[in-house]
Structures are given as C-alpha cells and as structure tokens.
Amino acid sequence: MKKVIFGITSLVFVFLIIYYLVPTIIMNDVKSKVIEKNSGIENIVTINQTGAWGEWFLEFVLVVEIEGQPFRIWVDRSGDITDKEQL
C-alpha cells in the first residue's frame, strides 16, 4: 500500500514539474529566437503567452525596447513578428 501511495505521489510531482517547467522552456526559446531574428530589439521587458493548453497555435506578446522606445509585439513560436504597436 505504501508503494502505491508513493508511486501516485511521485507521478503527481512529475506532472506538476512538467506543467510549470515546459512553458518556461518554451518562452525562453521564443525570447532567444526573437533576439536572433530581430537585431533592432535592445531589451525584452516582459513575455506572455496568449492561448491555452491544447490550442493549435501559440502566440506570444512581448514588451520590448526598440531604439529606446517601448513596443508591444506579437510573435509566433518561431520568433517572427506578426504585429507591433508603440506604447
């Protein structure tokens, strides 16, 4: 009985780690691709993911600095800018 409880607890723990770790890894990957593809971006202030688990596409919203001016940009997972507005 103790082995079953330990196994279930371990499984829940692994799922929680994956649930919190995978989005962080994806966002760090998107940040590096955005900086790599867009040399004019000086600083990434924030990044957020729009959408939810299970959607067919992922889009990210970033607040960045371009030539000292703050911009909000929307990018896809490959780091390509789909829209941009000055704040």
Give the pLDDT confidence of 16-70 residue by residue, as tens digits.
988 888 888 888 999 999 999 988 898 999 998 877 666 766 789 999 999 889 9
Is 70 exceeded by the pLDDT of residue 1?
no
Better-scored residue on pLDDT, 50 or 11: 11
Q: Give the confidence band of 85 by pLDDT, cuts at 50, 70, 90.
A: very high
Task: Output the DSSP codes for 8-51.
Answer: HHHHHHHHHHHHHHHHHHHHHHHHHHHHHH-TTEEEEEEEEEES
Better-scored residue on pLDDT, 84 or 55: 84
pLDDT of residue 56: 67
Model confidence, pTM: 0.74
